Structure 1
């Protein structure tokens, strides 16, 4: 049975959002960057669709084929760059990087990694198989780096990655429901329910409305607000 695609605002799907984003990136690109964007972007598209859009909720702040100039003046291009936190994401298949790689290509890849490090970028490579078979593990890794690279104060570091990310995405919402939690974090009903119950018990979130046996919605509690305010 085909997997039902997640819906975003205005009836958009992940595929339509990513398609529009890629086309917009191509329209503003020039020279070698445009050439890079005209090539096969299947790995980049999978990275955006299956990992980055579900975690971030939008593609604002991202750039494709971001140009970086190394110390020797040599230009390299990062597949996906998240400018607010200096994160570089890439996705490659096994065949490209293991079976058919040449010595020169292997050396070039090592040089690219050094350039990312020397430039202060955090480099996060993922394989196609990881994204395809273990998407939740990949998303957890991204949630971890979001907490460590500034999207939350030091007090948030002690929380579970899902607790931390829920506080972050719900910060501007007066109220949210279990459906919001499932959509924001791209998790199943059971996981969302367990997360909500755990955060209620720790007073990170509080119930809003409802009855004795059923909650209507939730909001960030005073304890959660205090953690978010620590910078």
Structure 2
């Protein structure tokens, strides 16, 4: 088994272990031949790693309807959604309503800070070098600015946390943040307290120590 096969197997197993319910089912059903080929022909030759990669990543639209991105690349220097679009499913069989929704979904995600990248299955299979060039053209400048943007890593984490709290629909605990951002308890609590100071979250006291945090009206207005 070559390095790609080993890394791909580890990626899928890691996310299957971490997921439950429909998020797990979607990974089992949705990560098919095209999505795997995207990783093998385009992603792996460029990066040689699946760090920060999330296959079949769940997002929510403006109606809080669950949708999935083929591959999410979530880093301190940006969030990138990469899609493998087959002609049959994405163009030929698309009616007007689905076409409108597809455009509006991308626009909505761009407004949330995502950079959406679409490749056709034909190009992934037959012209992967073109896809690699285009992918590098989009992501490369952000990676080069990684050091300069390191100071903004907390701001990106805070935005991700606010969106997570909105999707969750209940008070957030520090351990929820630990799982979301893969940080320790101290860092998670620090992020939550920073949002409290900015007026975007408030403490819900449980005894002497605040263990739960909820979004304020200001944050809800900003996210909607």
**TM-score interval (norm. to shorter):** 0.5 to 0.7
Q: Which residue of 2 aligns with 1:39?
A: 29
Q: Which residue of 2 aligns with 1:151?
A: 144
Distance 2:140 2:105 in 1: 25
Kept in 2, the 8 Å contact 1:90–1:124? The answer is yes
RMSD: 2.1
5+ residue gaps, structure 2, are: 148-224
Instruction: Report the TM-score when normalising by structure 1.
Output: 0.56
Distance 1:131 1:107 in 2: 25
Q: Which residue of 1 aligns with 2:95?
A: 102
For residue 136 of structure 1, the aligned residue among 116, 129, 133 is 129
Q: How many corresponding residue pairs?
A: 144
Distance 1:55 1:90 in 2: 17
Q: Which residue of 2 aligns with 1:89?
A: 82
Q: Which residue of 1 aligns with 2:114?
A: 121
Secondary structure, counterpart of 2:29 in structure 1: coil
Secondary structure, counterpart of 1:72 in structure 2: coil
- Compare 101-110 and 57-66 and name the one that shifted more: 101-110
More helix, by proportion = 2
Q: CA deviation at 1:77?
A: 1.6
Q: Please show how residues 154-165 of structure 1 align to structure 2 within 5 Å.
A: none
Kept in 2, the 8 Å contact 1:14–1:49? The answer is yes
Q: CA deviation at 1:119?
A: 1.0
Distance 2:22 2:107 in 1: 21
Is 1:55 aligned with 2:77?
no
